[in-house]
A and B are shown apart, each in its own frame.
Chain A
Amino acid sequence: MKHYLIIQLARFGDLVQTKRLAATLLARPGAAVHLCVDASLEPLARLVYPEAEVHPIMAHGMGLGGCEAALRALTDNRRAFDRLTAVNFETVYNLNFSGLNFRLAALFDPERVEGYAWKNGQEITGTWPAMAMRWTGHRRIGINLVDFWAGYCPDMIAPDAVNPTAVPKGEGIGVVLAGRESRRSLPAPLLARMAATTAGTQASERIVLLGGPSEARAGQEVVKNLPAQLQDKTENLAGKTNWRSLADVVGSLDMLLTPDTGTMHLAAHLGTPVTAFFLSSAWCFETGPYGRGHIVYQAVRDCLPCLESAPCPIETACLDGFADPGFQRLLATRKAAHAPEGVMGLASDFDALGQIYVPFAGKDVDAGQRSRFRDFLGQHLSGRPHAATDADHAFASQFYQEKDWIAKRQHIDTIGY
């Protein structure tokens, strides 16, 4: 039996988006997959990855004081580290660019670590994630994070084998109140309009509002902004779900309306159709719902996708398209003619590399360049040639550095090479 370890210390959505990588490893004959996650996500990890052995550690803040944190880091984490070192991992996939991940890698032979390794006190970034950092300057043509993480494995499973094709499940529509980054979310009155339009189109008998305890008040505001006949059919579950009940609810819905959130990825995992609103720093080509049967409305402006950490000098103007009355018609009909300025409607699909989004309303001006970039990456990952163009030379110049081929590679070749 070969043991593989995935270290995923980021948040809810990232954990779910690790699925193609995990599924690829699980598909290998005689493979055992281990998953190291923050303790707060342990139940979710067990839900999403029932075949994997989960290793929880204290990685997030969790409001701990210094002394308590020290004690837990040196006792609980140490015990977890002991359990990890007791397994002879064939490969460790260390996925997050964080000091914590680098340190955790100190437990392992750096030659066996993909991603972010630790070699004699030096942090080492592998070639594939280093390339990804270089293309963050070109986010409009970037690839889906699910495919990026799967890209550590040349034998990654077909993209349509990751999540089930989304189909309505019969229990109404869900509305996710907000993501972690507020600028990427729709304000409550607007969200209420989206919910009302969708409920009308779908003839839904039930609306559930989803979110954490901090979003309970936003939920009340959404309810208040709904037409009276829908208010009675609406249940505000913000702060009332645990991982299990959230999955049960999301898995029963006809549709989930959501900004770019972890719950959106959970819906995709469960095969629940997603209608997502992407704006500000959220860019569907990077973190859109994975699978077939999802719809994304992507804000388009020259300044997008922006940096969440940088203040917006134009008062989140990318929200305007969603506030345009025409948008409700687009939402109801999906007809291109109704698309307001600044919003693109896209349907999820696949190509050979993985997730793509095909516009049904609005123009994807980057489609050509993105497609060429995907060909370039496809060959990089698979070795399968395609007819080279000038773009390949430009991509290679930008995304390979001399040291990638002149000096010894910073870490081992991926298996199969």
Chain B
Amino acid sequence: MNSLRVLVVLPLYGGSLPIGRYVASALEEEGHMVEVFEAPSFYPAYESLDDLKVTTDRLEYLQNSFLNVVSQSVLAKVETFEPDMVLAMAQAPLNRQALKRLRRDGVTTAMWFVEDHELFTYWKGFAPLYDIFAVIQKGEFFNDLKAIGQPNALYLPLAAQPDFHRPMELSAVERRKFGSDISFMGAGYPNRRVAFRELVSRDFKIWGNEWDGDHVLAPLVQLKGARVTPEECVKIFNATRINLNLHSSIQVNELVTGGDFINPRTFELAACGAFQLVDERSLMGDAFVDDELETFTSMNELVEKIDYFSAHPDERAAYAARGRERVLAEHTYAHRMRALIEFTAERIPGWPKPRSASPAFAEDFPPELERDIRELIARLGLPEDVSFEDLVWAVRKQEGKLSSLDTAVLFLDEWRKLYGKKK
């Protein structure tokens, strides 16, 4: 597959936001030209509407109007960037009107719905408006999607970003701050709150937010329950002997739910070469074999395994190494993007549409000019055979004052638009 132009539309906030950023990195890694729609920049203004103290119908009107502006901003970006694909992450701010417009304009759209479809049911409202709908669950969900008019569903489990989720040397201070025998990094969902009460007597740190109001766990919660950055997560994973990974649930009757999808933490911990105890998921068998991931199916089993692996560091290390190997081989965001692109090419006839591509070099360029352009291409992280059109876009993405060569490239592009591409 040749280099594509992909516009990644991030959500305003939330769990799919870091995933969207990994997706953008992975696509760039794969040699594609990526533009990111930075929806989070709009979020503070959107939130400020809540402070208006106005009637609810007014507030709803204003919120919808605001989201319409955001959607229109995405459309404007599409018009300028001319992507082969608009890849929206779950909760991306693209309203139905905008999606219909993209369809009318023949712009291929995909959503990666990295949410639990049983809990987040809003997919029913817009899934058919996307050309491709990638999901992290299987089974009936595919039939449901088909029933509402979305035939192009793709199972695309979450993954890790190996240049970010990686083994890391930590300083003594960092080990002290982020390290412990056992830790959990994640939000305080009801099943976790109950489950972790059994572990309060251990060297156990809880990281993440939404843990407030729980007096039993309060002493274990780090940073006063503040949101942990993705960078800090990687340090926690690396500094912890046994990382707990209990998938979330809003009910407390069954603490280990045995659900289907695999959360991103599973892949991220493995990519970090960190040892984890993770609750068994029905889709786990597709992703890992037994000796790559140590799982539990009940709280009793979890406690037993904590005791066992606390005493067997070599086995922890062996699991971690095999898990990391598997992730690097099959479960990176680059793998996922390759799968998404292949699937799109299969399902959308004629995709990607051929686009005109001029070479970045002409035969009569003097050697010093060719050298400077090669340096520019390398500096921008572009493939050596990048087209002139993609080079122009990459130059445009830069911030601040541009160099004379950058400007000359942009100027030439405009000149060609005005006076044609005569050979």
What residues of chain A have their CB less than 8 Å away from a CB belonging to chain B? 57-61, 64-67, 69-71, 73-75, 77-79, 81-82, 84-85, 98-100, 102-104, 106-109, 118, 120-121
The secondary structure that dominates the B interface is helix
Q: For residue A82, which residues in chain B have a CB less than 8 angstroms away from its CB?
A: 404
Q: For residue B170, which residues in chain A have a CB less than 8 angstroms away from its CB?
A: none
Q: Which of B362, B397, B418, B420 contacts A70 (CB 8 A)?
A: B362
Q: For residue A107, which residues in chain B have a CB less than 8 angstroms away from its CB?
A: 401-402, 404, 407
1/0 contact string of B382-423 vs chain A (CB within 8 Å): 000000000000001111111111111111111111111111
Name 17 extra pairs, CB < 8 A, besides A69-B416, A118-B402: A65-B423, A67-B423, A70-B362, A70-B412, A73-B411, A73-B412, A77-B411, A85-B401, A99-B418, A100-B418, A102-B414, A103-B414, A106-B410, A107-B404, A108-B401, A120-B400, A121-B399
A103 touching B410, Cβ below 8 Å: yes
B422 touching A65, Cβ below 8 Å: yes
B400 touching A73, Cβ below 8 Å: no
Q: For residue B400, which residues in chain A have a CB less than 8 angstroms away from its CB?
A: 120
Cα distance A82–B406 when bound, in Å? 11
B318 beta carbon closer than 8 Å to chain A: no
B122 beta carbon closer than 8 Å to chain A: no
A75 touching B416, Cβ below 8 Å: no
Q: For residue B403, which residues in chain A have a CB less than 8 angstroms away from its CB?
A: 85
B47 beta carbon closer than 8 Å to chain A: no
A106 touching B417, Cβ below 8 Å: no
Q: For residue A98, which residues in chain B have a CB less than 8 angstroms away from its CB?
A: 414, 418
A120 touching B410, Cβ below 8 Å: no
Q: Which of B399, B405, B419 contacts A69 (CB 8 A)?
A: B419
Given known A58-B415, A75-B369, contact A66–B408 (CB-CB < 8 A): no
Cα distance A99–B412 when bound, in Å? 10
Q: Distance in Å from the Cβ of B409 to the closest Cβ of chain A?
A: 7
Q: Which of B399, B408, B414, B421 contacts A78 (CB 8 A)?
A: B408
Cα distance A57–B414 when bound, in Å? 14
Cα distance A79–B403 when bound, in Å? 11
B419 touching A61, Cβ below 8 Å: yes
Given known A59-B415, A103-B410, A121-B396, contact A74–B405 (CB-CB < 8 A): yes
Q: For residue B364, which residues in chain A have a CB less than 8 angstroms away from its CB?
A: 67, 71
Smallest CB-CB A-B distances: 5 pairs:
A81-B404, A99-B414, A73-B412, A61-B419, A103-B410
Most buried by A among B400, B401, B418: B401
Given known A66-B421, A66-B422, contact A120–B399 (CB-CB < 8 A): yes
B367 beta carbon closer than 8 Å to chain A: no
Among residues of B, the one whose C-beta sits closest to the C-beta of A102 is B414
Among residues of A, the one whose C-beta sits closest to the C-beta of B400 is A120
Most buried by B among A59, A67, A78, A79: A78
Q: Which of A75, A81, A121 contacts B398 (CB 8 A)?
A: A121
Among residues of A, the one whose C-beta sits closest to the C-beta of B404 is A81
B139 beta carbon closer than 8 Å to chain A: no
B417 touching A81, Cβ below 8 Å: no
B366 beta carbon closer than 8 Å to chain A: yes
Most buried by B among A79, A103, A118: A103
A71 touching B362, Cβ below 8 Å: yes
Q: Distance in Å from the Cβ of B356 to the closest Cβ of chain A?
A: 12
B365 beta carbon closer than 8 Å to chain A: yes
B404 touching A78, Cβ below 8 Å: yes
23 contacts between A and B (CB under 8 A): A61-B419, A64-B422, A65-B423, A66-B420, A67-B363, A67-B423, A69-B422, A70-B362, A71-B362, A74-B405, A74-B408, A77-B408, A77-B412, A81-B407, A82-B404, A99-B417, A103-B407, A103-B410, A103-B411, A104-B407, A106-B407, A107-B402, A120-B399
Q: For residue B402, which residues in chain A have a CB less than 8 angstroms away from its CB?
A: 106-107, 118
A61 touching B418, Cβ below 8 Å: yes
Q: Which of A100, A108, A120 contacts B411 (CB 8 A)?
A: A100
Q: Distance in Å from the Cβ of A62 to the closest Cβ of chain B?
A: 8
Q: Distance in Å from the Cβ of A234 to the closest Cβ of chain B?
A: 37
A73 touching B418, Cβ below 8 Å: no
Q: For residue A108, which residues in chain B have a CB less than 8 angstroms away from its CB?
A: 401
Cα distance A73–B410 when bound, in Å? 10
Q: Distance in Å from the Cβ of A54 to the closest Cβ of chain B?
A: 18
A67 touching B362, Cβ below 8 Å: yes
Cα distance A81–B403 when bound, in Å? 8
B415 touching A74, Cβ below 8 Å: no
Q: Distance in Å from the Cβ of B67 to the closest Cβ of chain A?
A: 19
Most buried by B among A74, A104, A107, A109: A74
Among residues of B, the one whose C-beta sits closest to the C-beta of A62 is B419
Most buried by A among B401, B407, B417: B407
Q: Which of B373, B408, B417 contacts A73 (CB 8 A)?
A: B408
A85 touching B404, Cβ below 8 Å: yes
Q: For residue B405, which residues in chain A have a CB less than 8 angstroms away from its CB?
A: 74, 78
Q: Distance in Å from the Cβ of A24 to the closest Cβ of chain B?
A: 26
Cα distance A59–B408 when bound, in Å? 11
Q: Which of B362, B396, B401, B415 contacts A100 (CB 8 A)?
A: B415
Q: Distance in Å from the Cβ of A95 to the closest Cβ of chain B?
A: 16
Q: For residue B396, which residues in chain A have a CB less than 8 angstroms away from its CB?
A: 121
B417 touching A75, Cβ below 8 Å: no
Q: For residue B407, which residues in chain A have a CB less than 8 angstroms away from its CB?
A: 78, 81, 103-104, 106-107
Cα distance A375–B170 when bound, in Å? 70
Among residues of A, the one whose C-beta sits closest to the C-beta of B362 is A67
